[in-house]
């Protein structure tokens, strides 16, 4: 049943609206806390949106995700998995970004995740904008490129913005492929849609072998079929999962800076995460939740629900090793 | 064409934003009004949320449901039923709860519904939280246990909370079965989902014979198939319909205290109510609408639309007797 | 590649949150500007809601649609159409209505569109409430009745309101048929639903030959089948497209005055507009976006996305002539 | 202690969030109800904003004012007046306006108030926009011009708008003076401020003898001094009180369509109403509360609090006759 | 400079939007943590609103107060006091209430504060509704009645509600005086206003010697004069400070359940707390912040600012002992 | 009466909710437009918040300020100044920032203002965060240091943040003094308040001779006295006016990222701007309006009203030269 220290506080003991809000009511274990050596999955906030080209806000994401995650209970209602009894999970706190320093912030994120990986902890990240994924991958893919299953309405594969700016939330995976942090042949992007500046990103994807599944194909084929292909692309190797909340239709996830209409509903949003079972996930993130556009917290609650589904799969994997 | 006294005010005579808002613009007939003897279906508010374990607010539900129900017109666009011409409907006002007295409030609700049933009126309730259903059932099931068709994302079958508290909005139907107000073999719960504390509620359901249709099954089988089974379970006997607005996906019904993502959309939410035709409904409720989380009134409008569909079926039943 | 003067400002040059907001960041070309002679499609605001019988607000629609339309980029992600390179598009500004004068406002709208059609410009209108469509049709259908593909949850075919008032947002197409601006046999209305006062509008439709596709039929048959029939009804003749945002389910489009639950989702909302390819569109409108009920701008963003899809088809048509 | 039929429902008997919301929880007595003959002060809604030149919404005012007025209790905390025991007060319901007919709406309002005055009832109106005051004055000033104490940030004395439109919410008192419904020498306008089109309204005021007290003078002299002068101007004759909620600073009253910054705070807003004691008030209104801009209801609550203060003075006057 | 363990996290090290939010970014020290023995002032949440008679929500207060308190920095800008260097402060977490058990919740609160006082810690409470103050006083006034300086718009001195209910947020200080937890002669209530049911509470106050300073007197005399009298009434004995956020005008503090217009502004709200210097404060609370009515967090930020001012005085007192 | 080309569109011709929104409905004249040579005062947006250390959003400020500025009419109600007839004013559009490049953005701002000053135009800026003032001053103070009257709740005089970051919205005037863009002896800061990290900024101010007037002094002395001193400090030399909207109390200006309670009300906020008459203003800005925190637009409307007051004084100065 696992170490009780790592069990979340039950809503039967302390009502879910009460208490200092940590991710899923888990214990807060800092990197310098001796108990860090027992942590297997670490939930981490990267409160930074320095790469955002339009409407800012994801820097506030981790706090709101913590808040709404207090509504998550101990057991997955569909799969009956009880992740917090399978492995030791903890809230590792937030990386300290520099809101006025883009490269400094990226270096701080990589340094934090270096410590996490050195401690043998699998990171589950709550962003932050999508540029956060790049410095995380720099820590996680030190040894070899990773595969990636990527849910999003945008490819984030653009070359540059604003006359040559290389680091924005529209470019992280272009950089990650150039830096050989990702193996493009093991990368799949699901849900792509919306208007575009041009086709430069899709041309790049085609050239390097990234598989793009646009939303029209997603709706036509259905979740089961799409996810089967995605898992085949990722294969058995180490895989990163990056989940941009704008993958989901804005009716379900209004709290984000660059929404695109016509996306999946919340049941599908959960299903795709649940169907990651068996994938060799070495890290995952849920990014682009923007509280200033999410006044009622619905987006953060959906985000926390998706994080829980991914966590169940990661915990199941670890426990079955 | 029915008694014109009981016809709602038309939007052609008084614009729908004008006038004192009663349920569906019906006449307000108090229990001590002589016209009460002519009422066949009574719309009643139970503005009480004393059983709410997390985010409060449903005490404000009846008022907002009245407000948004002024947008309901006289005729069902799909079935052409004109319920207010088939039977005499009226707004019976609200039960007076005691916001600081849990058992007192339950007693007051039962006493109110005792009068309603004694007057031969079928009650259509606007909650309030889900604990309200228990004192209502105490009045309605005086003679024999009822069947129940129950739409919800939670079973509300838990034994107790907070170290032995027996009456919360998570326990009403556990109590109702224990008190033999419901016949568990004629109870079906549709749409169950979300994380759970444990499986204690589902184990109980299985033991006593309550049929649970989780949301995954609902989405896989479709509305027609699920509702056919539900009606078979309820059978021809007296049946209560309890509709928790959190059955619906929070994108469509954000104004509720314990949302769970992945639910039905609003078309399905209406369909399941419409498909209750022929069921021997002796009372119905629509609960857990929480205005503080429903700033734009969308949830209340959906709730009023669902109430209207249920009302059409109840009116049709009565008229065809 | 078209005249660069008419290209929208790129988000790579000026971030999308910056700059004076015109429709889709196009140049603002007034009717008295010499460049008006080069415009092929004109985006026009009709900020007027004098025909609104319930909740007002669409007078603010054009401004919010301009604001959110700055998030539209140059290329259709699904069809790869780049409309602003195919034809010259411009923001022609707003008609000046008289908020306290109903007939005066209608006359002003017709006068404005008379100039637009005389200049050989196809108008794409951002309403305003649905009564705006009537004075627009008076300008566009001067020579002969038009066909119409109409997306809405209401028929807007009622005879009159409030004891004989002939001009409201519930009557424009009754008037348009009476005035022979529309050929009823070439009119199709898609998505009709919700409660109704009575069947007077539907009886009229049946009598004159307007085809109504209620939402139940829409959901049962699917988008492809419905749109095939719609295009057959409209035929090859000149056709107007009128898109009331309340066609879409209020979860996706909360910002409107007379919502009806149970409508299409945003993917379907986009699909039906995309499937207008090949229709001989001589004018289109997107009406009933009501900013006071759309605090987060989601409805306006969806509305702008729909306008873009319709625009792509209009541009493609013109370019292929 | 007055007729108990006319006492509001106590929050000790029915919590203030419960029940069908009438003005201040008074009985709803229609004009055709036999009890109308016993009513001394009638609270009436005029849900109409057809004269609004900018942001609409006051048509929703009466409903929200009813809702928030349920928070008003039986006794004035400062003066100890218990108005509902002094005189018989009732909610007379709403005038039925024609949202698409300006002159028709004005005629309907005058006709309603004709009945009210014929019944010997003093009207306390909840608007609606400020144009509502004109048709009310047409009923109240049938015999002779009235004096007026007018709280506002605008004079509402303009000649016309939009090229000759004579009836908007910026012109009612110009018309009322021209129609000899008001005696300009007994009219005082308090709180005037903000940018203006020009000085045409103030020139008119000066010519006919209306006294304008701009906000700078109000703040410099203080409430006591200003109100002493106002009462002197109104004198002992029959006086109408017109209170536009935009008199108050928008921080206290955000829910209005044409706010002007720099106004009084809520304490001063209450004080000026309380200091109307002794004025011979034959009717009063509280207008321009616009719920779409008042999401939290603060403006309506302030409006209801002001109505209560005015009511206390009217009741005291009647009782001491 | 105090123990660095107890210093809040600086916004220069971790931006203020980052990190797990504790009160004022202080360390979280549970009652069973060994460091508890070093704590001098404990910040505690009482997330409970079981005594609320109208609009609920204060159960969510502690979490939102924690969130907004992260904007409080280390030093008082006006007095230069740096409280966290003067004494050891910590976030002691929340009392676990029973949302469905009124007497159980009160017992749990008293039990928690018993431990706090036994540990020699001065409690600074974030409510919760005002009924929370009663069980706190039961722990703090074990030995002898306390004096109290009470900021509020209501006296909270009523005998009972709803036909004999003794425990609501309108009765705590009636009970506290009856139970001899407060010495009525050393109690002063400041800011009382609004409509009332009757004068029963004020009659009681007068009989037992509680001094009420209504808002009219407050505004007329000014802050300095009023606070001088308040401090004289409290004297040199042990004194509790109870600060209901509805003391402040709702324009400054909209997020509360029972607002009354005409209150102090935010500068005065801060001043009265700052002027508590020298008072022998043995405990303080800030109650009735209701997040569902405080969408933008302004009320919680004001509440946190007031808590900081009170804390500065408590710290100064302790440090100068 | 000035050049009619530069007169704003009247609300009598085009209702204020209609039309493409430019600042105060002035013509949009780009830097490359030939009419730029006739412009005397240019309204410019700097949509950039790259220096924001806490809650972002001011990048959206210019658009919302344009929107709400459409409610400003032609004439100052208090002073009767008609600025747009005194001098030629125009909307010069927005500087194009680089949202992901801090130093690039500052260089772009300076380059834009270099052109403005070379064209002999006085700039009135709508921010943007407060760091925008630094690159503006670099253009305006090329020849000699300026004086500055600065309204704010913060000094913005800090040395650095986050371990040595020199450019944030907390440091612009430290840098400006170091770079000799400001003459510290001619700088006055009014309204300073709130908690602080330490006294480093105030020590610096004292050392170099910047005069700080904290809010306590402001409230004690009153607006007239404070502004007389401020004008004396600025003297007759060239003076920049920098107005941070967080100078105003958050009840009046909630839409800002770093509010501090206890500030001036909106009347005082207007008064201080009006009392700048006679000051030799060579540029002014209104910064830190943050639309994501200003859902109802109240802050932007206040900001536009303040800009209008400053503009009146600038226009009067120019016209009287």
| Residue with token string 């007729």 | D3
Q: How high does pLDDT run on average in chain A?
A: 96
Banded pLDDT at D257 (limits 50, 70, 90): very high
Mean pLDDT of chain B: 96
What is the pLDDT at residue A321? Answer: 74
Element (H, E) at A64: helix A61-69
Mean pLDDT of E97-116: 97
Show Cβ contacts of residue A77 under 8 Å, excluding neighbours closer than 6 positions.
B192, B193, B194, B195, B196, B214
Q: Please provide residue A165's backbone torsions phi and psi, each rounded to the nearest 5 degrees.
A: -75, 120
- Mean pLDDT of all residues belonging to chain D: 96
DSSP D145-190: PEEEEEE-SS----S-BTTTB--STTSHHHHHHHTTSEEEEEEEEE
pLDDT band at B295 (very low <50, low <70, confident <90, very high): confident
With residue B244 as reference, give the H or E element that holds it.
strand B239-244
Contacts of F161 in chain A (CB under 8 A): 100
Strand, coil or helix: what is B90? strand
Query: Where does the pLDDT of residue D1 fall: very low under 50, low under 70, confident under 90, or very high at 90 and above?
Result: low
pTM to 2 decimals?
0.96
Identify the band that residue D296 occupies on the pLDDT scale cut at 50, 70 and 90: confident
Query: How high is the pLDDT of residue A1?
Result: 60
| Average pLDDT over all residues of chain E | 96
Is it the case that residue D295 has pLDDT exceeding 80?
no
Rounded to an integer, what distance in angstroms lies between the CA atom of residue E133 and that of residue E175?
11
Q: Please, what are the averages of pLDDT over each run of 10 residues along chain C (321 residues)?
A: 88 94 97 97 98 96 97 95 97 97 97 98 98 98 97 97 94 98 98 94 98 98 98 98 98 96 97 98 98 90 98 96 74
Please compute the mean of the pLDDT values over residues B23-37 and round it to a whole number.
97
Per residue in A201-250, pLDDT tens?
999 999 999 999 999 999 999 999 999 999 999 999 999 999 999 999 99
SS3 of residue C284 by DSSP: strand
DSSP element (H, E) containing E285: strand E281-287
pLDDT of res. F212 = 98
The arithmetic mean of pLDDT across residues A137-159, rounded, is 97
Helix (H) / strand (E) containing D272: helix D266-274
pLDDT of residue F84: 97
Residue C17 structure tokens: 């949150």
Contacts of B308 in chain C (CB under 8 A): 195
Contact by Cβ (8 Å): A216, A239: no
| pLDDT of A114 above 80 | yes
Token pair, residue D293, equals 């801009």
E210-224 tens-digit pLDDT:
999 999 999 999 999
Chains contacting C (3+ CB pairs below 8 angstroms): A, B, D, F
Mutate to test the interface with C, among B72, B243, B251, B267 (most CBs of C within 10 A): B267
Residues 6+ apart with CB under 8 A from E43: E23, E24, E26, E89, E90, E91, E92, E124, E125, E126, E307, E311
Distance of alpha carbon E75 from the chain centroid: 21
Residues belonging to the binding site of C for Mn(2+) are 130, 152, 154, 156, 244, 246
Cross-strand bridge partners of residue F138 = none
- Residue C165 in tokens: 């008032």
Q: By three-state DSSP, how is residue C236 classified? A: coil
> What's the pLDDT score for residue B1?
61
User: Annotated binding residue at D154?
Assistant: yes
For testing the chain D interface, which of E158, E191, E261 should be mutated: the one with the most D CBs within 10 Å? E261
Residue A305: pLDDT above 90? yes
Q: What is the CATH number of the domain that holds C224?
A: 3.40.800.10
What is residue A189's predicted lDDT score, i.e. its pLDDT? Answer: 98
Q: What distance in Å separates residue F309's CA from the closest CA in chain E?
A: 24
Check A104 against F55: CB less than 8 A apart: no
ipTM value: 0.95
What local confidence, expressed as pLDDT, does residue D2 receive? 76
Q: What residues in chain A have their Cβ under 8 A from chain E's Cβ atoms? A: 13-15, 17-22, 28, 45, 47, 59-60, 62-63, 66-67, 91, 93-97, 99, 295
What pLDDT is stored for residue C296 in this prediction? 80
- The number of domains in chain F is 1
Tell me how far apart the alpha carbons of residues D69 and D64 are, in angstroms, rounded to a whole number.
Answer: 8
For the stretch E229-263, pLDDT in tens is 999 999 999 999 999 999 999 999 999 999 999 99
Give me the residue label for tokens 């007002």. Answer: C56
Q: Is the peptide bond before E91 cis (omega within 30 degrees of 0)?
A: no
% of chain F residues with pLDDT over 70: 100
Q: What are phi and psi of E62, to 5 degrees?
A: -55, -40
H/E element, E86: helix E83-86
Distances (CA, A) of E312 to E133, E276, E277, F5, F182: 21, 10, 9, 59, 36
Could you give the CA distance from residue D266 to residue D248 in angstroms, rounded to a whole number?
7
CB count within 10 Å of CB B152 equals 24
Q: Which residues of C touch A (CB under 8 A)?
A: 10-13, 15-17, 71-78, 80, 249, 251-252, 265-267, 269-270, 295-296, 298, 301-302, 305, 308
Give the pLDDT band (50/70/90) at residue B263: very high
At residue C321, the pLDDT reads: 74
Q: What share of chain B is helix, strand, coil (3-state, %, to 5)?
A: 40, 20, 40
Other beta carbons within 10 angstroms of residue D206's beta carbon come to 12
CA distance D49 to D59: 5
User: pLDDT band for position E125 (50/70/90)?
Assistant: very high
Cα distance between residue C189 and residue C240, in whole Å: 12
- For the segment D53-63, the average pLDDT, to the nearest whole number, is 96
Would you say residue A57 has pLDDT above 80?
A: yes
Binding-site residues on chain B for chain C (CB distance < 8 A)? 10-13, 15-17, 71-78, 80, 249, 251-252, 265-267, 269-270, 295-296, 298, 301-302, 305, 308
Rg (C-alpha) for chain E, rounded Å, is: 18
Please spell the DSSP secondary structure of C177-220, one letter per residue. Answer: HHTTSEEEEEEEEEEE-S-BS-SHHHHHHHHHT-EEEEHHHHHH
Region B151-165: mean pLDDT is: 95
Helix (H) or strand (E) holding D125: strand D122-127
Residues B196-251 pLDDT 10s? 999 999 999 999 999 999 999 999 999 999 999 999 999 999 999 999 999 999 99
Residues of A in contact with B196 (CB under 8 A): 73-75, 77
The reply to whether omega before B128 is within 30° of 0 (cis) is: yes
pLDDT score recorded for residue F308: 98
The Cβ of residue D1 has, within 10 Å, a number of other Cβ atoms equal to 8
Q: Which two tokens stand for residue C294?
A: 């759309």
Going F113 to F115 to F116 to F118, the CA torsion angle's sign is positive
Among A317-321, C270-274, D147-151, D174-178, name the one with the lowest average pLDDT: A317-321
Question: Which residues span the domain enclosing D212?
Answer: 4-320
Query: Is the pLDDT score of A154 beyond 90?
Result: yes
- For residue F1, the model assigns a pLDDT of 61
Work out the percent of chain A whose per-residue pLDDT is above 90.
97
Contact: chain C with chain E (3+ CB pairs below 8 Å): no
> Would you call E213 helix, strand, or coil by DSSP?
strand
Which residues of chain D neighbour E215 with C-beta distances below 8 Å?
267
Question: Are the beta carbons of D9 and D78 closer than 8 angstroms?
Answer: no
In terms of residues, how long is chain D?
Answer: 321
pLDDT tens-place string over residues D223-237: 999 999 999 999 999
């Amino acid at each position: 049943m696992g170490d009780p220290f790592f069990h979340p506080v039950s809503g039967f003991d302390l009502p879910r609206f009460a208490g200092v809000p940590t991710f899923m009511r888990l214990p807060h274990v800092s990197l310098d806390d001796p108990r860090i050596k027992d942590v297997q999955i670490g939930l981490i906030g990267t409160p930074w949106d320095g790469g955002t080209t339009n409407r800012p806000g994801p820097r506030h994401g981790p706090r709101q995700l913590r808040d709404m995650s207090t509504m998550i209970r101990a057991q997955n209602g569909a799969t009956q998995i009880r992740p917090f009894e399978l492995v030791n999970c903890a809230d590792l706190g937030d990386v300290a970004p520099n809101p006025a320093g883009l490269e400094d912030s990226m270096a701080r994120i990589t340094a934090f995740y270096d410590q996490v990986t050195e401690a043998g902890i699998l990171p589950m990240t709550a962003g932050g904008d999508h540029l956060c994924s790049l410095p995380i991958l720099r820590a996680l893919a030190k040894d070899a490129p990773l595969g990636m299953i990527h849910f999003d309405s945008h490819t984030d594969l653009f070359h540059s913005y604003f006359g040559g700016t290389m680091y924005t939330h529209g470019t992280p995976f272009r950089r990650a492929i150039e830096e050989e942090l990702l193996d493009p042949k093991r990368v799949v992007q699901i849900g792509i849609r919306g208007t575009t500046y041009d086709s430069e990103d899709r041309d790049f994807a085609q050239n390097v072998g990234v598989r793009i599944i646009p939303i029209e194909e997603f709706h036509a084929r259905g979740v089961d079929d799409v996810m089967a292909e995605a898992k085949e692309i990722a294969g058995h190797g180490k895989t990163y999962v990056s989940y941009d909340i704008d993958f989901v239709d804005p009716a379900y996830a209004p709290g984000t800076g660059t929404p695109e209409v016509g996306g999946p509903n919340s049941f599908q949003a959960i299903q795709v995460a649940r169907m990651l079972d068996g994938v060799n996930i070495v890290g995952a993130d849920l990014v682009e939740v923007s509280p200033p556009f999410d006044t009622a917290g619905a987006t953060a609650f959906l985000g926390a629900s998706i994080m829980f589904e991914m966590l169940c799969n990661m915990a199941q994997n670890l426990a079955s090793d």
